[in-house]
Structure 1
Amino acid sequence: MAIPVESFFLPQGGSGTLQQRIRQMVAEGILSGRFRAGEKMPSSRGLAEHLGVSRITVTLAYTELVSSDYLTSRGRSGYFVSEGVPVQPAFRPAPRAAGTVDWEAVTGRRFSGMERVERPEDWRGFPYPFIYGQADPALFDHQNWRLCALQALGRREFETLTADRYESDDPMLIEYILRNILPRRGIDARPDEVLVTMGAQNALWLAAQVLLRPGGHAVVENPGYPGFRAMVAQAGARVTPVPVDEGGLVVEALPGGVDVVFTTASHQSPTNATMPVARREALLRAAEERGFIVVEDDYEFEMSFLKPVSPSVKSLDTGGRVVHAGSFSKSLFPGLRLGWLVGPAPFIREARALRAQVLRHPPGHVQRTAAYFLSLGHYDALVNRMKAAFRKRRQAMEEAIAEHGLKVAGQGGFGGSSFWMEAPGAVDTEALALRLRGQGVLIEPGRVFFHPGTERRNFYRLAYSSIPLGKIPEGIALVARAMREV
C-alpha cells in the first residue's frame, strides 16, 4: 500500500533545517503507527512538490532515514517503511482513574510554590523583548561553537564523551577556569578548591545545602534574586532580608546571629549596584568578627564595560570565609547550564559529594566543548563583542528613557545588561506588563524581587541584552505611553 502524499505536512515555525524537519516528520509518523512496515513512501519528487521544497532536500532526508533503518530502498521501486521499525503495542492504556491521593497535601508545594521571574516561552516572537538573561543570536559565535562541539564529539574525545567521571570534572575545563577565569576576578585557587556545576543556580543551591542546617539563619538582599529565598527555605533556615542602596548590600544593617550572607557584589540583582571595595572589606571584617560565611554570586562580572572591574569579594578574603559562585550563562548562553563554585577545600569536598548524589557531574561533552571554546580564544572575543553591543544599547536606552521622562531607580556605574526602573507609586507594574504584552512589549515586574511583606509593586526591570538596538527607542516610547494611560 502506498502512503498518500497528503499525509505529510510541515508545521509553520518548526525548528531545525528542512531536511531535519522532514526526517522528523517521517520518523514520528512511523513511530506513532500511522505509517506501517512495508508501506511505500511517496516519491522524492512528489513529496518535494507537495511540501514546496527542493527534491534534493527530500532525497537527503530519505537517505538519512534509510541509514537509520526507518526506510528501505528497493532499487527503482522507491522507498518503503522498513520491516524492522518499532511498532506500537496492540493494547490500549486503561482509562485513567481520578486517583485518591491529595498531592497538594503530600508535596506541600515546597518547590513549585516558590515565586520566580516569569516570561513567556515564545518571548522571541515579541518585537520589544526587554527581558533579562537570554542570549542574542546576533552576537553569538555560532560557527566556532559548532566547531568546538564537533571536536568534543570526535573519536579522539571518546573517553571524555562517554566516561563516567564519578565525582570529578573535566581537567581541561578546570585548568582554564584556574588559569584564566578566576585570575580576572583576583582569585588564586587550586584544583581541589573548584567544582563545576550546572550553572550558578545549581552552584548556589549546593552552597546553601552545605552551609545551612534546619534552624540556621541566612541574610539575603532586598530587593534581590528570588532564588536566594527559595534556596534558604529549602534548607530549612530562617531568612532575613537586608536592604540595598547605591553600593549594594548595607553591611551596617546585618543582624546578629547570622550564619550565611548571600550577596551579588559585582552587579546587584536587580538594582545593578556595584559594591565598593571599602564596603567589601567591611563585609569581610564583619564576617570575621561575627563568624558568618559569605556566598558571593559573581553576577554579570564580565559585563563591566563602563569602568574597570573591582576585585571580587573572594579575592580579598584572607580568612577563608567566602564561597564564590559563577557561571557562563550570561556570557555564553543560559542553556549551557555550566558554572563553578570556588571555596576552601573542605567545603568543595562536601559540595562535590552532594552533587554526586544528585547528578554525578555535568555532561562530559558539554564541559569539553566549553573548554575548547574558552581555550581557543573564542570566549574572550565573544565577551568583547557583547560589551561593545551592550554599551551601544545602554546608551540608546538611556537616551530614550530620558526623552520620555521615565524614572531610573538603579542602573549601576559599571555596565550590566538592564535598568532597574521605578514607576509612579499608584502604578502596578504587573498590570502594566500585561497591558504592554498585548502591544508586543515585554517588561519584568519588580514585585517578585522583594521579600514577602516588603513588596513594592511599582518597580520593574528593563533589560537590553536581547532586544535589537533599533527597537529600543520605539519600545521605550510604548512603555512610556502605557505608563501615562495607566
Structure 2
Amino acid sequence: MYIPLDHDSPEPLYRQVRRGLQRAISTGDFGVRRLPSSRELAASLGISRNTVNLAYQELVADGYVSAQPRSGMVVNPELADRLARPEPGPESGRESGPDPSPPHRPRPQWLGDLAARPPLDTLPHISKTADWQRYRYRFATGHVPLEAFPTAAWLRCLRTALGGEHRAASLQDSQDADDPLLLEALCRDVLPARGIAADPARVLVTNGSQQGMHLITTALIGPGARVAVEDPGYPDARHILARAGARLVGLPVDRGGVVVEPWPDDIAMALVTPSHQYPTNATLSAPRRARLLELAAAGGFPVVEDDYDGELRYVGRSTPALAASDPASVVYLGSFAKFLAPGLRLGYVVAEPELIAYLRDLRRYMVRHPSGHLQRALALLIASGEYRRWVRTLRTLLRERWLAAGQAVDRHLPTWQYDPAAGGVSLWLRAPDGLDTRLLAGRAAAAGVLIETGETCFLDGDQPACTVRLGFASIRTADIEPGIAALAAEARALLGGR
C-alpha cells in the first residue's frame, strides 16, 4: 500500500506510518480483514520492520487493530464505530499529526451532469433473482443444471490449456485474432450439427451472444433504422437495438413462430429466434422460414438468427438453423450458455467474411479478444468429444424435466394456457383472467417457489401481467411436480379458491 513519508519531517517515521494506516482504516480501505505483515509493509515503504512494528503497536493500543494468532494484524471488528473518528488531537495529551480525515471537496460537475442524463432507453429490464439457489422450487430461467456440469473434464482442459504447446495460445495477446483451434472445432464439430457449413473466415468468437448482438447492431444499424423484432421477444436484444437509435417494429408470434405476413415496410434488419422462439418456444414453420428469407433477399436486409438453444429439442429431429438455408442473408448468433454455463461468457457469430472482418475490428477496440485460456480450454473440450457427450447428457436430462413440467402443469394448472413446444428450457404459460402474475410471483416466493413473469418480453409497456416463463433447467426433476402444485395453491388463493 502507499503511505506518503517525509524523511525530513521532525515527525517520527513510525508516527507517519501509523497515521497513514489509521487513515486507510477510517476510510474503510481494509474493511474487516488482515493488514499487511510488518515485513511486507516495510519492504513496500523502504523502511525498517521496527518502524512498522512501532506503528502497529500504537494502533493495537488505541484499539484500531488486534493481533490474531497465525493471522497477523486485523482490523478490530468490534470497534467499527471508532474507525470513523479522527485521531486524538493535542488536547488528549498524545502527540498527533494532521487530521487524517480527507478534506471536503465539492462534488465534480461531470458527476452531476451524468446523473442528470435521461435513461439510455425506456424499455423494461429483465430482473433476475440473485439468490435463486436458495429456493427449493426454482423455476428460474437462464441457468444450467449445476450438479451435472462436466467439472472434471473442464478442469482437465483448463490445466492442459496452460501447458506445453497450448500455453502460448492461452496467455498471449492475440490482438484481434481468435484461437485457431477453437475456430476449427466450431467449424468441424459444432456448426455442422445445426446444418451450417462454414470456414474460420466466417466465424468470430465473442464474450457471449449479447456481445455478438451489440457488435452486429453497431455495424449495421444507425439512428432511425426500422428493425423487425418478435413480440413477445428477447428484452436484452431490444435494449441493444434501442440504444443504437433503432425504431423497433413488433411482429406477433403464434404457434408457428413469428408472423411474417403482412411484412412491414422499410425494414433495415430482422431479429428472430426460429428454433425455439424466445419466450414462447414455438418453432418457426417451414413456409414462414422460406418466406422470411425471400423477404430478406428482396428487401436487401439481414436476418439475425439467435439460436441459443437450437439443439435442445425433445420431439423429433432438431430443425436446421435458418443460416443453413441462406448463409448470405442470415447472420447467425450462437452461444455456449445453455450447453456449458452462462458465466463462461463464450459465444460466436457466423456470417459472410466481409462482415466478420468488420466485427473483428470493432471488437478489437472493445476487448481485443475473449480470454485465450477459455478459448483454448473449450477447443480442447470439443476436440476430446467431452462437449458432444455433455450435450447428449444435457438433452436427456432436460427432456426428463420437460416431460415432468408439462405433466405437472396439465395436472395442477388445467385452466392455464400453454402450447407444449418441442424443445427449449422453459414453458410459456398464460394465467386465467383476473390473476396478476406479479402478485402471484411474490406470494410464490414466500412459499419457496421462484417464478419469472413475462410482461418484460412485450414491447407494449401496458401489457397485462398474466404470463409466466417457467424454467425447468435448474430445478431437480423430483421437485418439479410439488413445486407446480405449490404454485397452483398460491394461484387459487389469489383467485379466491377458484
TM over 0.5: yes
From 131, 141, 152, give the equivalent of 2:161.
Answer: 152
**1:446 to 2:454 alignment:** yes
Q: 3-state SS of the aligned residue for 1:254?
A: coil
Deviates more, 1:424-433 or 1:239-248: 424-433
Q: Relative to structure 1, is the Cα distance of residues 170 and 35 closer, same or farther in structure 2, using a 3 angstrom cutoff?
A: closer
From 273, 287, 292, give the equivalent of 2:301.
Answer: 292
Partner of 1:477: 485
Partner of 1:437: 445
Partner of 1:334: 342
Separation in 2, partners of 1:288, 1:451:
27
Q: Relative to structure 1, is the Cα distance of residues 30 and 332 closer, same or farther in structure 2, using a 3 angstrom cutoff?
A: same
From 452, 466, 471, give the equivalent of 2:474.
Answer: 466
Partner of 1:208: 217
Q: 3-state SS of the aligned residue for 2:271?
A: strand
**1:142 to 2:140 alignment:** no
Gaps of 5+ in 2: 1-28, 41-68, 74-97
Give % identity: 36
Cα drift, residue 277 of structure 1: 2.3
Q: Relative to structure 1, is the Cα distance of residues 332 and 411 closer, same or farther in structure 2, using a 3 angstrom cutoff?
A: farther
Q: 3-state SS of the aligned residue for 1:302?
A: coil
> Quick one: which amino acid aligns to residue 364 of structure 1?
G
Partner of 2:118: 108
Moved over 3 A (4+): 28-36, 78-82, 90-101, 103-107, 406-413
> Quick one: which amino acid aligns to residue 222 of structure 1?
D
Q: 3-state SS of the aligned residue for 1:110?
A: coil
Partner of 2:253: 244
> Quick one: which amino acid aligns to residue 396 of structure 2?
A
Task: Give the TM-score taking structure 1 as reference length.
Answer: 0.80
What's the Cα RMSD here?
2.4
Q: 3-state SS of the aligned residue for 2:241?
A: helix
Cα drift, residue 283 of structure 1: 0.5
Cα drift, residue 456 of structure 1: 3.2
Q: Relative to structure 1, is the Cα distance of residues 114 and 188 closer, same or farther in structure 2, using a 3 angstrom cutoff?
A: same
Task: Give the TM-score taking structure 2 as reference length.
Answer: 0.78
Deviates more, 1:452-461 or 1:126-135: 452-461
Partner of 1:44: none
> Quick one: which amino acid aligns to residue 108 of structure 1?
P
1:117-128 maps to which residues of 2 (within 5 A)? Answer: 117-128=126-137
> Quick one: which amino acid aligns to residue 464 of structure 1?
F
**1:37 to 2:45 alignment:** no
From 138, 154, 170, give the equivalent of 1:161.
Answer: 170
From 372, 375, 379, give the equivalent of 1:364.
Answer: 372
Q: 3-state SS of the aligned residue for 1:172?
A: helix
Cα drift, residue 33 of structure 1: 5.2
Cα drift, residue 247 of structure 1: 1.2
1:29-63 per-position Cα deviation (integer Å, ceiling 9, x unaligned): 89955474269xxxxxxxxxxxxxxxxxxxxxxxx
From 353, 356, 359, give the equivalent of 1:348.
Answer: 356
Separation in 1, partners of 2:347, 2:186:
10
Asked if structure 1 preserves the Cα contact closer than 8 Å seen for 2:428 and 2:468, the reply is yes
Partner of 2:425: 417
**1:394 to 2:417 alignment:** no
Q: 3-state SS of the aligned residue for 2:154?
A: helix
Cα drift, residue 118 of structure 1: 1.3
Cα drift, residue 236 of structure 1: 1.0
Asked if structure 2 preserves the Cα contact closer than 8 Å seen for 1:406 and 1:480, the reply is no
Partner of 1:182: 191
Q: Relative to structure 1, is the Cα distance of residues 241 and 143 closer, same or farther in structure 2, using a 3 angstrom cutoff?
A: same
Cα drift, residue 314 of structure 1: 0.6
Asked if structure 2 preserves the Cα contact closer than 8 Å seen for 1:194 and 1:343, the reply is yes
What number of residue pairs does the alignment pair up? 412
> Quick one: which amino acid aligns to residue 407 of structure 2?
E
Q: 3-state SS of the aligned residue for 1:317?
A: coil
Cα drift, residue 197 of structure 1: 0.5
> Quick one: which amino acid aligns to residue 414 of structure 1?
A
Deviates more, 1:420-429 or 1:113-122: 113-122
Cα drift, residue 376 of structure 1: 0.5
